């Protein structure tokens, strides 16, 4: 499984307007709901907020992977966003979060969901990769970096 199989370039947002955690999630789900009109942005947001109650998906090093499961999804759905100024996302290291990888999986796909989370996490653990994403010019460049780095594994 490759990240480019479930992340689309039009769902890469290089300049989030959001300045807090709730607005980051709102902006991401709004983009996903625009791309997939059968999905409810409110339902997506509620799913993420329920997951965040279990503990922050801010994994540290400036990265968050908000995720959840929904019944009826045809497969994995994803969006990616960058906020150059950073946001307090209640990350485990207490530092601001700049890179957000949103992931939704069908509710009956535990293995697929965990595999995707592990792949995303491994990719974003690399400091030079995170810096390249921060320096990327636009959505196309970010998408290309993610696809190229992911193809190495």
Write down the catalytic residue from 21, 67, 83, 113.
67
Q: What's the rounded Cα separation, in Å, for the pair 32 and 79?
A: 7
Ranges assigned E (strand) in the chain: 12-13, 58-60, 63-64, 67-70, 77-87, 97-106
Q: What's the rounded Cα separation, in Å, for the pair 126 and 124?
A: 5
Let me know if 113 is a catalytic residue.
no
Q: What's the rounded Cα separation, in Å, for the pair 73 and 96?
A: 31
Q: Which residues contact 36 (CB under 8 A, 6 or more apart)?
A: 77
User: What region does 99 belong to: left with phi over 0, alpha with psi -120 to 50, or beta?
Assistant: beta
Tell which residue, 26, 80, 19, has the closest CA to residue 48: 26
Which residues belong to the active site? 67
């Amino acid at each position: 499984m490759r990240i480019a199989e479930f992340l689309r370039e039009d769902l890469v947002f290089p300049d989030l307007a959001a300045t807090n955690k709730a607005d980051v999630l709102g902006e991401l789900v709004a983009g996903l709901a625009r791309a997939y009109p059968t999905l409810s942005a409110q339902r997506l947001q509620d799913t993420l907020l329920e997951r965040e109650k279990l503990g922050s998906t801010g994994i540290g090093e400036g990265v968050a992977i908000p995720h959840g499961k929904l019944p009826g999804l045809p497969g994995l759905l994803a969006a990616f966003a960058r906020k150059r100024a950073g946001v307090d996302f209640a990350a485990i290291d207490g530092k601001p979060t700049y890179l957000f990888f949103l992931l939704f999986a069908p509710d009956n796909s535990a293995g697929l969901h965990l595999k995707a989370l592990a792949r995303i996490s491994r990719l974003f653990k690399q400091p030079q990769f995170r810096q390249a994403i921060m320096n990327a010019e636009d959505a196309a460049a970010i998408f290309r970096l993610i696809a190229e780095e992911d193809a190495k594994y």
